Amino acid sequence: MASVATMRGHLTNSSLLRSDVLIDGKWKGAASGAKIDVEDPFTGQIVGSIPSLAADEVHGAIAAAETAFIPWSREMNRHRGALLRRWYELVMANQEDLARLITLENGKPLKEARAEIAYGAAFIEYYADEAGRIFGETIPPLVPGRQLLVEREPVGVCAAITPWNFPMAMLTRKIAPALAAGCTMLIKPASQTPLSALALLVLAEEAGIPAGVLNIVTGKASMIGDILTASPVIRKISFTGSTEIGAQLMAKSAPTIKRLSLELGGNAPLLIFDDADIDLAIETAMVAKFRNSGQSCVAANRIYVQRGIHDTFVKAFGDRVRAMSLGDGFDPATDIGPLIDEAGVAKVDEHLEDALSHGAEIVAGGKSQGGHMSPPTLVSGVSSKAALTREETFGPLAGVIQFETIDEGIRLANDTPFGLAAYFCSSSPATIAKASRGIESGMVGINTGLISTAVVPFGGVKMSGLGREGSRYGLDEYLNMKYICHAGL
């Protein structure tokens, strides 16, 4: 068996590794030759580079997507669906290589990277089928001689701005419904994790997605964001990332009245009620907190445990956290890989220090160990004043807070301006009904910490965003309704 070191950069299909971008069906670098390096977060080594495009090159990509829009939107829906299905098959055929690229640029354990490819590919498969189900409507008229129709048309040229934490799945859940609807698209992946995005486009091209339908722009995020938001050609932007940047994009999109889908910050609560099954509660907490090393908008940030089950839960959860292995994502034994960068590690350390200064105690783990390595950590006795109850930690630090009554638990869960995901564990139908109705959140997981799949509407309320991704509702985000009143019949 190859060693971890030799396996690190190896791809079976070497054509997937690109250092240029696809615009209008042509792979090209920046005319200036400017590049941005891509770093392996575990070794700190440079593992690739991408073009740092100039403004006129971004405008060129917008023009290419505009030219491609009319022919693509007039394609038979069945044909668009067939191309998406072919793309899905190619993605799954290259699952291992794509997963390696993600581990290389993001650091996540290879087993999680493989799962992300399957999760991301499922959006392509789902919308390949949905392309053929974009139906209109007739409405009974109120006066004779009229036919009232509702047709659904693609929004136009769209842009997707995506984060580094799920570099593949966050793209496919925007691209697949856009293309199924008949929109064309520009994608701007995070500069930390562009390699898997470029590989996805290699496969899209191989699947036969026509030139200009899907284009990728890389470079200075603020410059590209300003061009995309200001452009009257771009009719919609879909963004996954922080609430702060989402609000800026929203403000900058206002003058051109764009449609927006914003999947923003989380700060998810997990409530463990006294009547929860303890094994299920531990499993839920493990997944809700430590999936993707806690670097997820749906990660449980605040774990509220009712007094009767508190001590048993903290002990058993602590044992599981202590047993997790921190290391190289390419090592099959690794549960928690490196965090994306030093700022990510520093934030986890700050939240830990702050929780301790407010009286919390370490049950497992502790401070970072140099590099990007932040150990899986559990603290109990966290005060509601601690930063980790207020803002996303985005790392493998779990904080437990004790509560007394069901109403208090629900009140604490809702004590946040965010409302993306929430979780709770209970075996009582009455508690389940009360909590699932009482919690202010776009998504609720009951007795599970894993709620994400392509077939459900993913999205938040309050400051966690606008719109939904995945499911048939995710397709609506890329369709406009046209009402047609046909009189004189």
Q: In terms of CB distance, is 233 or 451 closer to ligand SIN?
A: 451
Closer residue to ligand SIN (CB): 119 or 424:
119
166 binds ligand SIN (CB under 6 A): yes
Three-class SS of residue 145?
coil
Pick 120 or 318: Cβ nearer ligand SIN:
120
Residue 261 interacts with ligand SIN (CB under 6 A): yes or no: no
Report the C-alpha gap between 422 and 446 in whole angstroms.
Answer: 9
Site residues (CB under 6 A) for ligand SIN, limited to 228-257: 240
The Cα–Cα gap between 453 and 475 comes to 15
Spot the catalytic one: 130, 297, 392, 425. Answer: 297
CA distance linking residue 234 with residue 259, whole number of Å: 9
| Closer Cβ to ligand SIN, 116 or 328, answer by number | 116
The stretch among 36-44, 193-201, 228-236, 294-302 that binds ligand SIN (CB under 6 A) is 294-302
Query: 154 or 449: whose CB is closer to ligand SIN?
Result: 449
**Residue numbers 304-363 binding ligand SIN by CB under 6 A:** none
Check residue 165 for interaction with ligand SIN (CB under 6 A).
Answer: yes
Q: Distance between CA atoms of 9 and 118, rounded to whole angstroms?
A: 21
**153 tagged catalytic:** no
Q: Which is nearer to ligand SIN, 278 or 287 (CB)?
A: 287
What are the b/e assignments for 70-89, b being 16+ CB within 10 Å? eebbebeeeebbbbbbbbbb
Q: What is the phi/psi pair of residue 6, to 5°?
A: -80, -25
Stretch that binds ligand SIN, among 11-19, 230-238, 292-300, 356-364 (CB under 6 A): 292-300
Q: Is 296 in the site for ligand SIN (CB under 6 A)?
A: yes
Strand partners, 444: 422
Span from 54-62, 163-171, 360-368, 431-439 in contact with ligand SIN (CB under 6 A): 163-171
Give Cβ neighbours of residue 64 (< 8 Å, ≥ 6 apart).
Answer: 23, 24, 25, 211, 212, 215
Based on the shown chain and the rule CB under 6 A, indicate whether residue 298 belongs to the binding site for ligand SIN.
yes
Helices 110-130 and 77-93, packing angle to 10 deg: 160
- Examine the residue annotation and report whether 283 is marked as an active-site residue of this protein: no
CB of residue 471 to ligand SIN, shortest distance in Å: 13
What mask, x for binding ligand SIN by CB under 6 A, covers residues 169 to 188? x-------------------
Residue 470 Cβ, how far from ligand SIN at the closest point, in Å?
A: 8
Contact 350, 306 (CB under 8 A): no
Give the start-end residues of each E strand in 202-286: 214-216, 234-240, 259-263, 268-272
What are the tokens at 38?
């891509």
Instruction: Indicate the residue among 243 and 306 with the shorter CB distance to ligand SIN.
Output: 243
Strand segments (E) across 112-247: 137-139, 147-154, 157-161, 184-188, 214-216, 234-240
Interface residue with ligand SIN, options 452, 454, 475, 479 (CB under 6 A): 452
Q: Minimum Å distance from CB 26 to ligand SIN?
A: 31
Contact pick of 16, 271, 297, 303 for ligand SIN (by CB under 6 A):
297
- The residue number whose beta carbon is nearest to ligand SIN equals 452
Considering only CA atoms, which of 466, 476, 351, 355 is closest in space to residue 419?
466
Residue nearer to ligand SIN on the CB measure, 298 or 364: 298
Shortest Å, Cβ 298 to ligand SIN: 5
Indicate the residue type of 448.
T
* Structure-block tokens of residue 427: 């075996």
Which one from 39, 57, 263, 392 is the annotated catalytic residue?
263
Please say whether the beta carbons of 412 and 406 come within 8 A: no
Any bridge partners for residue 260, and if so which? Answer: 237
Judged by CB under 6 A, how many residues of this single chain contact ligand SIN? 9
Active-site residues: which are they? 263, 297
Give the interface with ligand SIN as residue ranges (CB under 6 A): 165-166, 169, 240, 263, 296-298, 452
